[in-house]
Structure 1
Amino acid sequence: MKLRFATIASGSSGNCIYVGTESTNILIDAGLSGVKIERGLKSLDLDAAAIDAVFVTHEHIDHVNGVGVLSRKFDLPVYATEGTWNAMPEKVGKISKFLKNNVYEDEPLVLNDMCIKPFEIPHDAAQPVGYTVSVGKYKVSVATDMGHATKTVAQNIAGSDVLLIESNHDVDMVKQGAYPYNLKKRILGDRGHLSNMTAAKMIDYVADSKLKYVLLGHLSKDNNTPELAYETCADMLTKSGAVIGGDFEMWVAPCEGVGRCIEL
């Protein structure tokens, strides 16, 4: 069974992740324009019409911008928590009631050969979740938009072959930057975004012999750089005894444009 994983975009301006097998293709979030998502899928040799469903993490526009467009154009089922559905309508427009589906934290959902499990994340949205996707012996996890690391998140992403984890900002860059105080407080708060250092600690906590790929995602354009995110995580993980490139590969997911496609 072949499992494919690729980021179509992962950053503060848009997020969309592709997960697919020979028989099932899903998106986790669709936070770009429909045109950009279709273009990204085409670069993966996929037609958007082949997507079976979109799973939404939360209602912020950088995660749902293309949800309504894709659903209407391709009769695409959309899955989200009840809280997210209640907060999302004005951002996605009309979606057929026959295409709306609820997901529930810690309740796995089977879609063809995939088992998709939502889990609670701490973020300033209505009812946000991360997702794990399991196919046979393989498991991939998407854990972004988190104000802090929780046991719930750690327990869910443990045992992953592929982990996309938020490495949003450098704390000093936020504190010294030009953002207004309230925005800085939001980013650094318990329901904001995960710092590079906290991401590194989370990776170190859950890493085991099964973990093959770590992608650092959802980077801020103003409060981080790809080099700083990678170096911060790599330095801490190396000090903890991990061998980057040996124990597992690690790279920064592009904020714009399709990233490397992983095949398991």
Structure 2
Amino acid sequence: MRFCSIASGSSGNCIYVGSEETHVLVDAGISGKRIEQGLNQLELTGNDIDAILVTHEHSDHVSGLGVMARRYHIPVYTTGGTADAISRMKNMQKLPEDTFHEIEEDQDFHIKDLTIHPFSIPHDAAQPVGYRLECQDKAVGIATDLGKYNKYIVDNLQNLDALLLEANHDIRMLQVGSYPYYLKQRILGDRGHLSNENAGRLLCRLLHDDMKAIFLGHLSKENNYEALAYETVCSEVTLGDNPYKSKDFKIQVAKRDSISDVVML
């Protein structure tokens, strides 16, 4: 199993997960050209992609979806609410009728040798989900765009080999920054985004001896920066109520404009 971020940040997100025989993208929120470039670095092309899994309809997750789906006739898997919201977007109305494959939260589905488990996430979108993807005895998780976390989300992210987790903002940077009040309240709310501190606290509940890699993703361009996200999450892990130190794990920040390290499981 291979896992990496092609791009991650408030400006665009695209994650690759694959096995020897199956290749999927989670979200396509950057240009088709950039997705192609990322795939080329993995020695793949759009023709190799078996499916695109969409978390929700916000532009930083779907801006390149129409181009990729039309060009390569790639099936798109997402919830009914998200498919409906995407279908009403101007640049998505020319998608072939059979593009969307409707999935439901907590109902596993299969793409070749990958088992995919979508789970509900609290975010201000139509019907958003995170994903857990498994192949044989390996599992990876993708959890971004969370206003908060709860036992249900913790349960869905247990026993992972690798994880991409949102560390969207530093609370103080957001509070004193230039965003209008309503937007600050939206981001800080229960259907907004996960702060660095909360990302670290959630991670403390997911760590185990066999966790191979953690990517911190979906960083805000205006209200965070890589070193701050990394240091805050590491501090929460090291000082938190768990038996681990941050140096026990490979924790890294997923870049907004370049491909991450490729995790081989």
Please confirm whether the aligned pair reaches a TM-score higher than 0.5, indicating the same fold.
yes
Shift of residue 245, structure 1, vs aligned partner: 3.7
In structure 2, C-alpha distance between the alignment counterparts of 1:216 and 1:260, rounded to whole Å: 12
The letter of the residue matching 2:63 is N
Deviation track 1:64-88 (CA, whole Å, cap 9, x = no partner) reads 0111111110010001100001111
Aligned Cα root-mean-square deviation (Å)? 1.0
Partner of residue 244 from structure 1, selected from 225, 246, 249: 246
Q: Which residue of 1 aligns with 2:257?
A: 256
Deviation track 1:105-143 (CA, whole Å, cap 9, x = no partner) reads 000001110001100000000000000000011000000
Shift of residue 94, structure 1, vs aligned partner: 2.2
Partner of residue 39 from structure 2, selected from 41, 54, 67: 41
In structure 1, C-alpha distance between the alignment counterparts of 2:258 and 2:93, rounded to whole Å: 25
In structure 1, C-alpha distance between the alignment counterparts of 2:56 and 2:150, rounded to whole Å: 18
The letter of the residue matching 1:5 is F
In structure 1, C-alpha distance between the alignment counterparts of 2:74 and 2:203, rounded to whole Å: 33
* Percentage identity across paired residues of the two chains: 46
Check the 8 A contact 1:169/1:223 in 2, yes or no.
yes
In structure 2, C-alpha distance between the alignment counterparts of 1:160 and 1:127, rounded to whole Å: 24
Provide the secondary structure at the position in 2 that maps to 1:148: coil
In structure 1, C-alpha distance between the alignment counterparts of 2:133 and 2:38, rounded to whole Å: 21
In structure 2, C-alpha distance between the alignment counterparts of 1:29 and 1:79, rounded to whole Å: 10
Provide the aligned length of Structure 1 versus Structure 2. 261
Shift of residue 243, structure 1, vs aligned partner: 2.8
Partner of residue 15 from structure 1, selected from 13, 16, 20: 13
TM-score using structure 1 length: 0.97
Shift of residue 36, structure 1, vs aligned partner: 0.8
In structure 2, C-alpha distance between the alignment counterparts of 1:93 and 1:157, rounded to whole Å: 34
In structure 2, C-alpha distance between the alignment counterparts of 1:35 and 1:121, rounded to whole Å: 29
Shift of residue 207, structure 1, vs aligned partner: 1.1
1:133 aligns with 2:133: yes
Gaps of 5+ in 2: none
Gaps of 5+ in 1: none
Partner of residue 73 from structure 2, selected from 75, 80, 83: 75
Check the 8 A contact 2:22/2:50 in 1, yes or no.
yes
Q: Which runs of 4+ in 1 moved over 6 A?
A: none
In structure 1, C-alpha distance between the alignment counterparts of 2:20 and 2:164, rounded to whole Å: 22
Deviation track 1:157-210 (CA, whole Å, cap 9, x = no partner) reads 111000100000011111111110000000000000000000000000111123
